Amino acid sequence: MDQLMVGVMWYVIFLFATTLHEAAHAWAALRLGDATAYRGGQVSLNPWPHIRREPVGMVLLPIVSLLATGWPIGWASAPYDRDWAARSPRRAALMALAGPAANLLLVVAAAAGIRAGISLGAFHAPAHVRMSIVTSAFSGGFPYCLARTLSMMFSLNLVLTVFNLVPLPPLDGSAAIALVTSDDVARRLRELTAVPGVSMIGLVFAWRIFDPLFAPIFGVALNLLYPGASYG
């Protein structure tokens, strides 16, 4: 029963995190001149428009991966006007960064909740940190459930932030390169992502480098969360 509840919690947090990520993309695009996602209903924290667009990435694969590995893997997407992105590569870059920024905001919110729990004497730093146990409760019941929820929100959204910022197509970090290059280079890079197979190659490389990239970042985040700690 505990494993079932943990699985349900992981999925609910995944669903909320990916919904907010894509809603942030859609809202930023709307503010920057592209209403494509807005017309598709994606400027919304209601997960249904996002599930309807990507049912495999938001429902099927996360549930299967949870059952197989205990960790939700999936994806979501928001439509955008490619002609708009080609005309305004820097605006498109800001739109791309809006998704990871939304996940980073959830990391900060979870951290604030954890620090508040520590201040109130409800939480403490665990002896051994796992992705689902970033903080521990002194008692069971609601404090325990809240500690697990905040731990999962912290970990999963940090994963989404870091992974999506890897500068390889089709991840958001590849589009964000336009902020530090010329418009011509940005357009060429965007055209490259449309070449069949390039996005798949990019994802494979991103997965290969992610573990050694994320581990030290997770350690830094934990030591910022618990000043004076020595988490590796």
Average pLDDT over residues 63-92: 93
Cα 213 to the center of its chain, rounded Å: 15
The β-bridge partners of 124 are 136
The rounded Cα 148 to chain-centroid distance in angstroms is 18
Structure confidence at residue 28 as a pLDDT band (50, 70, 90): very high
Q: Is the pLDDT of residue 215 over 60?
A: yes
pLDDT at 187: 77
Share of the chain above pLDDT 70, in %: 99
Q: What are phi and psi of 225, to 5 degrees?
A: -70, -40
- Would you put residue 141 in left (φ > 0), alpha (ψ -120 to 50) or beta? left
- Cβ proximity of 202 and 174 under 8 Å: yes
pLDDT on residue 181: 83
